[in-house]
Amino acid sequence: MTDAPNRSVERGFAIVDELAENGGGRVSELAERLEMPVSTVHDYLRTLVATGYVTREGKEYRTTTRFLEVGHRHRHRLEIYKAVRDQLETVAAETGEHATLLIEEDDQAVILAVEEGPDAINLFAYPGARMPLHVTAPGKAMLAHLPEERVESLLEGELVSVTSRTVTDPDRLREQLETVRERGYAVDEGERIAGMVCVAAPVLDKDDRLRGAICVCGPESRLDESRRAEIGEVVERAANVTQVNLDYV
Amino acid sequence: MTDAPNRSVERGFAIVDELAENGGGRVSELAERLEMPVSTVHDYLRTLVATGYVTREGKEYRTTTRFLEVGHRHRHRLEIYKAVRDQLETVAAETGEHATLLIEEDDQAVILAVEEGPDAINLFAYPGARMPLHVTAPGKAMLAHLPEERVESLLEGELVSVTSRTVTDPDRLREQLETVRERGYAVDEGERIAGMVCVAAPVLDKDDRLRGAICVCGPESRLDESRRAEIGEVVERAANVTQVNLDYV
DNA sequence: AGAAATTTCCGGTAGAGCCGAAACACTTCT
DNA sequence: AGAAGTGTTTCGGCTCTACCGGAAATTTCT
């Protein structure tokens, strides 16, 4: 199920990954990093260029805007993206912080869109950025509304830790999820990025199926207890409006 | 040079293209469209899922946000993107129309970023959208500053026509490029999309190498002769500011 | 339930990917 | 300049792997 019956495709994307990671590369460079013969890498790069997903300038190979295109097409097809788009702007404006839209994909939280408030810059928030569900507020907001069995199998699995504050105890996480369901929004305090506080509300559709989460992030210093509650209400309201929107898009 | 020595990679991306085009697909559906045995397509899809670039929900396969991620990374690494980002916002606000940033990639014009003015919606302008250079204002703006020999070999080649107004005569194009160089900005009148007028200025760096183009588009009805000149000055100024920015990013 | 359609599994075989080695570019020394 | 070094591209034969037919399993429709 999880293994790949086609090595060439696998290696092809491994090269793409490598290019994306380092913003480009040369034949021998890639060959070394991927532990493949140079001539083989060369063959792959030629093919990738032919597909249009990779381009070369002189000796340097890079990914092309094709990825941007496919990515954007994908995003535009997601109902939730359209439904939440203007909400996100409002949230950013109202709170003055970074506002993001996330979805769950293959057991991870992925950022779909970012809207910047007048202040804040955040290097960790860009469309496509992914993170484990349990380490961040939007992830927990989503976990709280995923089917029981999926949550349990995730909590049974390995719970990685990314900062000193990351919660990795299954029981404490279960408690937190309960709190999210009661209160309506989730909070994390530097559990993914030290010094960064996130407040997030889950977005559900009319059948209560999870569709994503709306999240606001800012520096700890700016988000004290009362501010978090304020923001909690803002994201919750935005999530509710989205829920209604979802049926009319 | 242009042919692919690796069939598997080629076919893998053919499937990705197909998925991107139709927003997903099933095994037999793809098999029919690509004229491949179902079992083969099945093998490919399994591999693609393993790479993380494709996901499945039930029987339906789709592209993932991985493309968004790679695309955004690529974009952020482009100097011109950073240099022009806030300029684009200003241009959109000042003109009240759609403002876009384009670059040249493999002999095509590709949209990198879109900023919407208070009015306008434009379904044809999304990041990653690509078009032939000669059919649109930003394309001509860029053509006017590409190396002589590249321009000539392009003008020798096939010049496709996309609307009734598209200019496909090499000599007329040569004239237009000359005008662009003199005046500083390019205009197209429904040459790519009927009823749509575009005004674009090329972005050069300090060594006069072409880096991209800034473009403003709007409906013909709203953009009369004098308005176009106005916008021409706006995009030209934005391009100049960007040129300066480019050295300090 | 039965039938039809689709997906998934499996294994033998042909042919395609693979990579060593040599030829070829392009830099950087002496 | 010439030579040595570094990295790229071409080539071709061998081996392994992608390929696909067919059957089993699963889902969907009648």
Gap from A68 CA to C14 C1', in Å? 38
| pLDDT tens column, B71-93 | 999 999 999 999 998 899 999 99
Interatomic CA–C1' length for residue A45 and nucleotide D5, angstroms: 25
Q: Measure the CA–CA gap between B223 and B60, rounded to whole angstroms.
A: 45
Domain ranges within chain B, ordered by starting residue: 7-63, 70-247
- Strand C, nucleotides < 7 Å from a protein CB: these are 5-10, 16-22
Residue for token pair 């199998």: A153
Mean pLDDT (chain A) is 93
Tokens found for residue A178: 């309960």
Query: pLDDT band for position B1 (50/70/90)?
Result: very low
Per-residue pLDDT at A124: 78
| pLDDT bracket for residue A119 (50, 70, 90) | low
The model carries a pTM of: 0.92
CB burial of residue A229 (10 Å; 0-12, 13-18, 19+) = middle
Share of chain B above pLDDT 90, in %: 87
State percent of chain A over pLDDT 70: 96
pLDDT band at A125 (very low <50, low <70, confident <90, very high): confident
User: What mean pLDDT comes out for the span B98-113?
Assistant: 95
Q: Check B65 against A110: CB less than 8 A apart.
A: yes
Q: How many Å separate Cα A7 from the centre of its chain?
A: 28
Task: Compute the average pLDDT of residues A143-159.
Answer: 93
Arithmetic mean of pLDDT, A142-170:
94
Q: Is the pLDDT of residue B2 over 80?
A: no
CB B25 within 8 A of CB B61: yes
Quick one: tokens of B35?
A: 């004229």
Confidence of residue B120 (pLDDT cuts 50, 70, 90): low
pLDDT, mean of residues B98-105? 96
How many A-B residue pairs are in contact by the CB < 8 A criterion?
A: 184
Q: Which helix (H) or strand (E) holds A137?
A: helix A137-143
Q: CB A4 to CB B74 under 8 A?
A: no
Mean pLDDT for the stretch of residues A102-118: 91
Nucleotide nearest the Cα atom of B37 (by C1'): D20
Radius of gyration (C-alpha) of chain B in whole angstroms: 20
Distance from CA of B69 to the nearest CA of A (A): 4
- Considering only CB atoms, B66 lies closest to which of A66, A72, A128, namely A128
Residue nearest C5, CA–C1′ metric: B28
What pLDDT was estimated at residue B206?
85
| pLDDT tens digits for range A15-72 | 999 999 999 999 999 999 999 999 999 999 999 999 999 999 999 999 999 999 999 9
Give yes or no for residue B26 having a pLDDT over 60: yes
Q: Is a pLDDT exceeding 90 seen at residue A4?
A: no
- DSSP letter for B162, please: -
> Do B51 and B213 meet the contact criterion of CB atoms below 8 Å apart?
no
Q: Is the model more confident about A122 or about A94?
A: A94
**B29 CB below 7 A from strand C atoms:** yes
Of A10, A47, A51, the CB nearest to B5: A47
Smallest Cα–C1' distance to nucleotide D10: which residue has it? A39
**pLDDT exceeds 60 at position B238:** yes
Span of A171-185, A230-244, B112-126, B177-191 with lowest mean pLDDT? B112-126
The answer to whether the Cβ–Cβ distance between B128 and A68 falls below 8 Å is yes
CB contact under 8 A, B105 and A51: no
* Spatial distance from the CA of B6 to the C1' of D12 (Å): 16
CB A117, CB A92: distance < 8 Å: yes
Please give the nucleotide, over all strands, whose C1' is closest to the CA of residue A58. D8
